[in-house]
Chain A
Amino acid sequence: MDAEAARYIGAGIACLGMGGAGIGVGNIFGNYLAGALRNPSAADGQFGRLIFGFAVTEALGIFSLLIALLALFG
């Protein structure tokens, strides 16, 4: 196989990891919404934790995007 072609395939495969981060971020916001609908008065106080969990989860997806970018342009 051509090395150039392998690079593009590798970048594509690396992006699959972002799907996992997508599931994780969806879980976080879904559970936050479920909790917020049960107890709307407590929802605002947990916004900071929501964003913190979102940021930490998103970082892992960003890492796989970084690997894809490195494979493409590095």
Chain B
Amino acid sequence: MAAADKVDPIHQFHINKLIPLEIGGYDISFTNSALFMVATVVLASAFLYFSTSGRALVPSRLQSVGEMSYEFVASMLRDSAGSHAMKFFPLVFSLFMFVLTANLLGLFPYFFTVTAHIIVTFALAALVIGTVVIYGFYKNGFGFLKLFVPSGVPVYLLPLVVLIEVISFLSRPVSLSVRLFANMLAGHITLKVFAGFVVSLSSLGAIGIAGAILPLIMAVAITALEVLVAALQAYVFAMLTCMYLNDAVHPGGH
């Protein structure tokens, strides 16, 4: 069991202090989590900077990838929240690029996955929901509360429907943050568990090494699946942000 003890699937999520800092009793150390958040921002910014610095009429390969990611998010926002919501494009695009880069960066071995921590994803979700609530009340006043009263519902069903709508609205920040967090966490744990099978089987001698090929194939397949999940979850996060912004821009009606 010595090999199995060494493979701890949770170990990859441990936060280590790189530069210990403490100001006014608060621990604000620069951790490996902070390092990878900085790396994510630098990588995403560098990609967009270098892809747009050429500004050729006929785009290079890098420039067309940058333009595609821009147009992808812009059309997603325009289709689901209308052209009035385009003032939120910087928010949605930044969230999409941050989540996508963080998810993909976390797939490299020995790298830290920022989005596998609930506090990071919850901060992102709270930013989105906070924007929706503040802008909704700023733009529509108390008309924003029409969000909870769907049109065309019989009066005797209204109390129940309003209750359900309120609960569904309150569960949005939870589901938005937990979806991303749990997908990343579960994917990385699964990867590590299968990698652990390879290690513990191959310590059993020749037959074990032959048997370890199966979990090795599985680990490769799961890595491919995780690349898909990383991109899909970034898309889902941006998509749901657009849907929620739509509620702030057009409450009640569509």
Contact = CB atoms under 8 A, between A and B. Distances in A.
Contact of B79 (A48, A54, A59, A63): A48
Nearest to B233: A55
B132 interface: no
Contacts of B235: 51
B239 A52 contact: yes
A52 B179 contact: no
B182 A51 contact: no
Given A62-B178, A66-B178, A51 B183 contact: no
Contacts of A69: 182, 185
A51 B236 contact: yes
B52 interface: no
The DSSP consensus for interface residues of chain A is helix
A51 B114 CA distance: 23
Contact of B179 (A48, A51, A58): A58
Interface in B223-244: 232, 235-236, 239-240, 243
A63 B175 contact: yes
Interface residues of B, number: 16
Contact of B239 (A48, A63, A65): A48
- A interface, size bucket: 10 to 19
Contacts of B178: 59, 62-63, 66
Contacts of A62: 175, 178-179, 182-183
B80 interface: yes
Nearest to B76: A48
Interface string B58-80: 00000000000000000010011
Contacts of A58: 179
B86 to A, nearest CB: 17
A52 B240 contact: yes
B221 interface: no
A59 B237 CA distance: 12
Given A48-B79, A65-B186, A59 B239 contact: no
Contacts of B236: 51, 54-55
Given A55-B179, A56-B175, A62-B179, 15 more contacts: A48-B79, A48-B80, A48-B239, A51-B232, A51-B236, A52-B240, A55-B236, A55-B239, A59-B178, A62-B182, A62-B183, A63-B175, A65-B182, A66-B178, A69-B182
Interface of B: 76, 79-80, 175, 178-179, 182-183, 185-186, 232, 235-236, 239-240, 243
11 contacts: A48-B239, A51-B236, A51-B239, A52-B240, A55-B179, A55-B236, A59-B175, A62-B178, A65-B182, A65-B186, A66-B178
